[in-house]
């Protein structure tokens, strides 16, 4: 019944606040009882430790935490003292109570007073062994934060993981390619391509811009393309090897989904093999530089595996430039990173 009453009271307060974006939660000095009788005990201020623990468990734009000012002489021990403090200082929510240490354990009873109703809307208990004071305070803070997050419905803080650094990714792709425009599309037809690459990522994410996480990857791709001449020309098979050195920039669209763009130099080596009908067997090899541009969509399956699609436009700088378009699907493996992406 107390929990239900607490929820109703808290929701009523939220509605009364209208467009207010935050609630203020104050913490009075907690009574500390050391039953061990040791004269060497280190002075403990549990309200300070609890305030610090709550600060990393509640969203600062929703709950404002503050120590109580001008408390009565010593800790707030009774409901009347807590109510008087709320009245004189204008506190809406006030935590007060006690922490007791025995030879083998810590025990806490902390109450939440809602001043407008002049009632205790929640009571938080916790205990732990005497060797784990930090865990004891942290668990107590979790209970208090859960009341605001789960019972009232305030969103918990978004905790961002630190960036992962010096990552290596190994993408493998299968796709199709075709010449685009010009005389080349009248001569050649693409059949398929296979690609193997490696990516070095200094940090993921590298920075945050416009509320999105951004990552830069330095890559190296080796690709084999297979093509053939158009039916109107003498039969021939084209074997092409392409080396790309892309620089890619990715942004996170939502959890697990990202979009990237890449650009970089290209080296293309073509070998044309023809079995001429009225002439000798013919083979010709050429090498030329170029430029490659790509757009990539990626979906993170797990910490070490992602799937996606890429569209690449290559321009090989022959006397008559060869522009080609290549869509493909890929699988991307991050070795040595099975968790925590």
pLDDT tens digits for range 48-58 = 899 888 888 87
Whether the CB-CB separation of 325 and 185 falls below 8 Å is answered with no
Other beta carbons within 10 angstroms of residue 306's beta carbon come to: 20
Nearest to 326, CA basis, from 231, 226, 201, 259: 226
Domain boundaries, the chain: 2-152, 164-333
- Check residue 123 and give its pLDDT: 93
Higher model confidence: residue 219 or residue 204? 219
- Check residue 111 and give its pLDDT: 93
- DSSP SS3 for 78: coil
- Check residue 5 and give its pLDDT: 43
Whether the CB-CB separation of 240 and 316 falls below 8 Å is answered with no
Range with lowest mean pLDDT among 56-60, 131-135, 302-306, 333-337 = 56-60
Q: How far is CA 38 from CA 74, 85, 106, 130, in A?
A: 21, 32, 15, 14
- Check residue 1 and give its pLDDT: 44
Rounded to an integer, what distance in angstroms lies between the CA atom of residue 143 and that of residue 45? 19
pTM surpassing 0.85? no
33 Cβ contact partners less than 8 Å away, ≥ 6 residues apart: 98, 99, 100, 101
pLDDT tens sequence across 71-99: 556 788 889 888 888 888 888 888 999 99
- Check residue 337 and give its pLDDT: 57
Domain range 2-152, its CATH number among 3.30.1330.20, 3.40.630.30, 3.40.50.10070, 3.30.390.10: 3.40.50.10070
Residue 162 has pLDDT above 60, yes or no: yes
Q: Tell me the average pLDDT of the chain.
A: 83
pLDDT tens sequence across 12-32: 444 344 334 567 888 988 888
Section 131-136 average pLDDT? 90
Higher model confidence: residue 247 or residue 5? 247
300 Cβ contact partners less than 8 Å away, ≥ 6 residues apart: 256, 257, 258, 306, 341
4 Cβ contact partners less than 8 Å away, ≥ 6 residues apart: none
* CB-neighbour burial class of residue 339 (10 A; exposed 0-12, middle 13-18, buried 19+): exposed
pLDDT tens sequence across 238-292: 999 999 999 999 998 887 899 999 999 999 999 989 876 666 678 889 999 999 9
- Check residue 281 and give its pLDDT: 75
Higher model confidence: residue 211 or residue 67? 67
Residue 101 has pLDDT above 80, yes or no: yes
Whether the CB-CB separation of 99 and 30 falls below 8 Å is answered with yes
Largest Cα–Cα separation, the chain? 111
Rounded to an integer, what distance in angstroms lies between the CA atom of residue 201 and that of residue 336? 14
Rounded to an integer, what distance in angstroms lies between the CA atom of residue 234 and that of residue 224? 23
Per DSSP, helices labelled H in the chain are 2-17, 46-55, 79-89, 133-146, 184-187
Overall fold of domain 164-333: Porin (2.40.160)
Range with lowest mean pLDDT among 71-75, 103-107, 329-333 = 71-75
Nearest to 332, CA basis, from 196, 166, 162: 196
> How sure is the predictor about 124, in pLDDT bands with cuts at 50, 70 and 90?
very high
Residue 177 has phi, psi (to 5 degrees) of -135, 155
- DSSP SS3 for 60: coil
């Amino acid at each position: 019944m107390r929990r239900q009453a607490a929820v109703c009271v808290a929701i009523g307060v939220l509605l009364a606040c209208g467009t207010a974006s935050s609630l203020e939660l104050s913490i009075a000095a907690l009574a500390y009882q050391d039953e061990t009788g040791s004269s060497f005990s280190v002075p403990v201020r549990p309200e300070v430790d609890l305030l610090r623990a709550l600060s990393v468990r509640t969203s600062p734009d929703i709950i404002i935490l503050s120590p109580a000012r001008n408390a009565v002489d010593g800790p707030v021990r009774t409901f009347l003292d807590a109510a008087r403090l709320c009245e004189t200082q204008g506190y809406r929510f006030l935590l007060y109570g006690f922490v007791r240490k025995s030879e083998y354990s810590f025990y806490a009873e902390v109450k939440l007073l809602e001043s407008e109703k002049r009632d205790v809307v929640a009571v938080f208990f916790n205990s732990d062994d005497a060797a784990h004071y930090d865990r004891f305070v942290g668990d107590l803070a979790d209970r208090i934060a859960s009341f605001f997050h789960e019972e009232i419905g305030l969103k918990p803080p978004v905790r961002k993981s630190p960036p992962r650094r010096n990552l290596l990714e190994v993408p493998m792709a299968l796709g199709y390619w075709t010449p685009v425009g010009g005389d080349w599309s009248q001569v050649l037809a693409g059949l398929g391509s296979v690609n193997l690459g490696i990516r070095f990522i200094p940090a993921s994410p590298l920075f945050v811009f416009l509320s999105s996480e951004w990552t830069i990857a330095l890559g190296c791709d080796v690709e084999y393309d297979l093509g053939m001449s158009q039916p109107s020309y003498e039969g021939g098979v084209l074997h092409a090897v392409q080396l790309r050195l892309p620089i890619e920039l990715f942004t996170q669209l939502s959890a697990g989904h990202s979009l990237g763009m890449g650009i970089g130099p290209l080296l293309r080596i073509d070998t044309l093999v023809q079995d001429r009908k009225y002439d000798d067997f013919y083979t010709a090899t050429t090498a030329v530089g170029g430029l490659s541009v790509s757009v990539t969509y990626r979906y993170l399956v797990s910490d070490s595996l992602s799937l996606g699609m890429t569209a690449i436009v290559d321009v090989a700088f022959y006397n008559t430039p060869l522009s080609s378009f290549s869509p493909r699907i890929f699988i991307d493996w991050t070795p040595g990173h099975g968790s925590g992406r």
